[in-house]
Amino acid sequence: MAMASSRALLMVAVAVAAVWCGEAGAAPTAAAEAAHDVLTAHGLPRGLLPAGIAAFSHDPATGRFEASLDAPCTAKAEVDLRYNATVTGEISYGRISDLSGISAQDLFLWFAVLSIRVDVPSSGVIYFDVGVVFKHFPLSFFEAPPPCVPSSFILLAPHKLGGDDGSVDGGTALQ
Q: 58 - beta bridge partners?
A: 65
Query: Rounded distance, CA 65 to CA 101, Å?
Result: 12
pLDDT of residue 91: 97
Query: Rounded distance, CA 112 to CA 104, Å?
Result: 6
Q: Does residue 2 sit within a domain?
A: no
How many other CB atoms are found less than 10 A from the CB of residue 75? Answer: 21
Query: Rounded distance, CA 157 to CA 47, Å?
Result: 24
**The domain spanning residue 64 has which CATH number?**
2.30.240
pLDDT of residue 81: 94
| Buried-state track 109-143, b at ≥16 Cβ within 10 A, e below 16 | eebbbbbbbbeeeeeeebbbbbeeeeeebebeebe
Residue 79 corresponds to which amino acid?
Answer: V
Q: Quick check: 85 and 93 in contact, CB under 8 A?
A: no
Q: Does residue 13 sit within a domain?
A: no
Q: How many domains does the chain have?
A: 1
Q: Quick check: 175 and 154 in contact, CB under 8 A?
A: no
Q: Does residue 3 sit within a domain?
A: no
pLDDT along the chain (175 residues), means of 10: 44 33 55 95 95 95 96 90 96 96 90 93 90 90 92 52 49 42
Residue ranges making up the domain that contains 115: 26-160
Residue 158 corresponds to which amino acid?
Answer: P
Q: Does residue 19 sit within a domain?
A: no
Q: Does residue 12 sit within a domain?
A: no
Q: Does residue 34 sit within a domain?
A: yes
pLDDT of residue 164: 53
Query: Rounded distance, CA 149 to CA 56, Å?
Result: 19
How many other CB atoms are found less than 10 A from the CB of residue 106? Answer: 13
pLDDT of residue 46: 94
